[in-house]
Amino acid sequence: MPRLSVRQRVFLTFAGLAVAALAMLALALWGGQNRAATGANGYLFAFILGGFGLVGMIAGVWLMFDETIAKPVDRIAADLRSRTHAGLSHPIDPATARHLGDLGPAADAMTRALSASTVDAAQRVASETARLSAEAKRLTALLTEIPVATILCSADDRIVLYDGQAAQVLAQIAVPRLGARLGAYFDARAIQAARGKLARSGKDVSFAASGIDGAQSFEMQMKHMDGGGYLLIIDAATVRLAPEGNRPLTFDFDLLDRAPALALAETPLRALCFAVFDTETTGLLPHKDEIVQIAARRIFGGRLVEGEVLDMLVDPGRPIPPAATKVHGISDFMVAGKPDPDAAARAFHHFCEDAVIVAHNAPFDMAFLRRRSAQNGLTWDHPILDTVLLSAVLFGAAAPHTLDAICERLDVTIPARARHTALGDAEATARVLLRMLPMLEARGLDTFGKVIRETTQHGRLLQDLNAAPQA
């Protein structure tokens, strides 16, 4: 039947069903007549035999339609969305549409045509992007030679821009983060006092502020910025900075004009900050095993922010089983003298402040963090997205939802040496999420609340932690 059209296949299927139904009815009547001849209720026997036979045939036809039409149509629809909204280019698998006649080739031809029509526009954008990138590199090189660290803040004290030297200053306290409040790094009272002086005098204010860890004091100057916000300049000559190459400016000027915060459920996906993380552990039992590595990447403004990375080896306080080392490559020697699990948890907790936590199979990773909440005093009440559940929403519960399967489906490459490392898997999960966001928006799931309502419908596949009590 490979050359038959979909209409011919459907016709033959229903014709076969009609013939089988007539045969079943004839068999039921014949059996009922024979039963009646022995004095039994022939009509009841014919009804039971015919009824069960018809139900069985209908169930068989439904299973056949589900496997050959319904599931392939869902897979092709998901493929079309991924190509349209996630920018994928690999062809539609012919095996998926082998029972759907010309639908598969037609869908593949359409996506190829659309891709070809965007090549010229993409080339023009790439050319302009390269020009702007070259200018940005020259500006970065110039700023690197100036012995000051520059941070631009919004009117509500959130970091809008920081240069390479400012990144080093912030990193001495915690991982630098766009959108983070300045008080997460420096003494908030000193910052507020300087802001008060700036508002009263309108002139630049020089002051000193210590880091929240109390390890250093920084000489600073605060300048008013037209259009709102202020510029914070730190005398980098007085700060211990490591010699390193030019680091790009990191910024998101939308923070200067950000609208008042909405309730989380109503917040657009694009307006959310995501902390995408993964862990490697001594074993698979969260109630007794420990973390040996934790890593995370931040997505802000719909993009991975370069340099905003957490990557920590962790001393679990116990020997790492050889079987676990064989998986992730982390040995006892590598973690000797590294931070303990509580210190790692505190570092990650700071990293994901004001962010939605994202993980692949989040219940597993979060269980390790929540188990120690009582002893380290951390509250894990963050909103959480799980790429397993997002995959089920986009591709159906029947599709495979391993990280490798999703990466293959979305053209995300995990280098072999990075697989089963916390940073490599966190990076892959982050890139998967970036591919999924436009696909979710295209389905009308453009706010956090709408997405969660969809993921909770797949609770039998994996627990949605947003509905779970927080530790």
Q: What is the CATH number of the domain that holds 151?
A: 3.30.450.20
- In contact, 99 and 72? CB cutoff 8 Å: yes
Angle at 196 between CA 193 and CA 197, to 5 degrees: 90
Q: Tell me: the pLDDT tens digits for 361-382?
A: 999 999 999 999 989 999 999 9
Confidence check: pLDDT of 121 > 90: no
**Residue 4: per-residue pLDDT:** 66
- Averaged pLDDT, 266-282: 95
- Judge whether 123 lies within some domain: no
Tell me which range, 124-138, 139-153, 202-216, is most confidently predicted by mean pLDDT.
202-216
Do 294 and 406 lie in one domain? The reply is yes
Average pLDDT over residues 317-341: 96
In this structure, are 214 and 271 located in the same domain? no
Give the catalytic positions in this structure: 420
Would 199 be classed as within a structural domain? yes
Residue 126 maps to a domain = no
In degrees and rounded to multiples of 5, residue 183 shows phi and psi of -65, -10
242 and 268 in one domain? no
| Residue 389 pLDDT > 70 | yes
Would you state the pLDDT for residue 364? 96
Q: Could you say which of 254, 278, 304 is where a domain stops?
A: 254
pLDDT band at 470; cut points 50, 70, 90: very low
One domain, residues 216 and 290: no
The CATH code of the domain that includes 310 is 3.30.420.10
Q: How far does CA 386 lie from the centroid of its chain?
A: 7
- pLDDT for 471 equals 37
At residue 120, the pLDDT reads: 58
| Domain end (from 68, 95, 113) | 113
Do 289 and 246 lie in a common domain?
no
Any domain includes 139: no
Rg (CA), the chain: 30
pLDDT at 339: 96
Burial class from Cβ neighbours inside 10 Å (0-12, 13-18, 19+) for residue 287 reads: exposed
Q: In this structure, are 459 and 319 located in the same domain? A: yes
Q: How many domains does the chain have?
A: 3
Question: Are residues 239 and 307 located together in one domain of the fold?
Answer: no
Tell me the CB-side half-sphere exposure of residue 224, using CA atoms within 13 A. 12
Q: What is the pLDDT of residue 31?
A: 77
pLDDT at 67: 80
246 pLDDT more than 70? no
Tell me which of 58, 93, 113 is where a domain ends.
113
20 and 76, same domain (yes or no): yes
Q: Is residue 167 domain-shared with residue 287, that is, in the same domain? A: no
pLDDT in the model for residue 78? 77
CA distance 183 to 191: 8
Q: Kindly report, residue by residue over 276-327, the tens digit of the pLDDT.
A: 999 999 999 999 999 999 999 999 989 999 889 999 999 999 999 999 999 9
Name the most confidently modeled range: 9-18, 164-173, 205-214, 425-434: 425-434
Whether 71 and 168 share a structural domain:
no
Q: Would 16 be classed as within a structural domain?
A: yes
In this structure, of 84-88, 112-116, 119-123, 162-166, the range with the lowest mean pLDDT score is 119-123
More confident residue, 135 or 421: 421
359 and 426 part of one domain? yes
- The whole-number pLDDT of residue 106 equals 66
Calculate what percentage of the chain has a pLDDT beyond 70.
Answer: 81
Regarding whether 302 and 449 lie in a shared domain, the answer is yes
Task: Classify residue 203 as left (phi > 0), alpha (psi -120 to 50) or beta.
Answer: beta
Residue 33 predicted with pLDDT over 70? yes
Residue 82 near residue 395, CB atoms below 8 Å: no
Return mean pLDDT, the chain: 85
Nearest Cα to Cα of residue 291 among 352, 357, 371: 371
Please determine, for residue 342, whether its predicted confidence score (pLDDT) is greater than 80: yes
pTM of the full structure: 0.78
The residue type at 274: F
Look at residue 226 and tell me if it is in a domain. yes
Provide the domain limits for residue 84: 6-113
Q: Model confidence at 158, in pLDDT bands (50, 70, 90)?
A: very high
State the pLDDT at residue 80.
Answer: 74
pLDDT tens readout for residues 46-74: 788 778 888 888 888 888 877 877 788 77
Query: Is 443 inside any structural domain?
Result: yes
Residue at 119 is within a domain: no
Q: Please compute the mean of the pLDDT values over residues 416-443 and round it to a whole number.
A: 93
Share of the chain above pLDDT 90, in %: 49
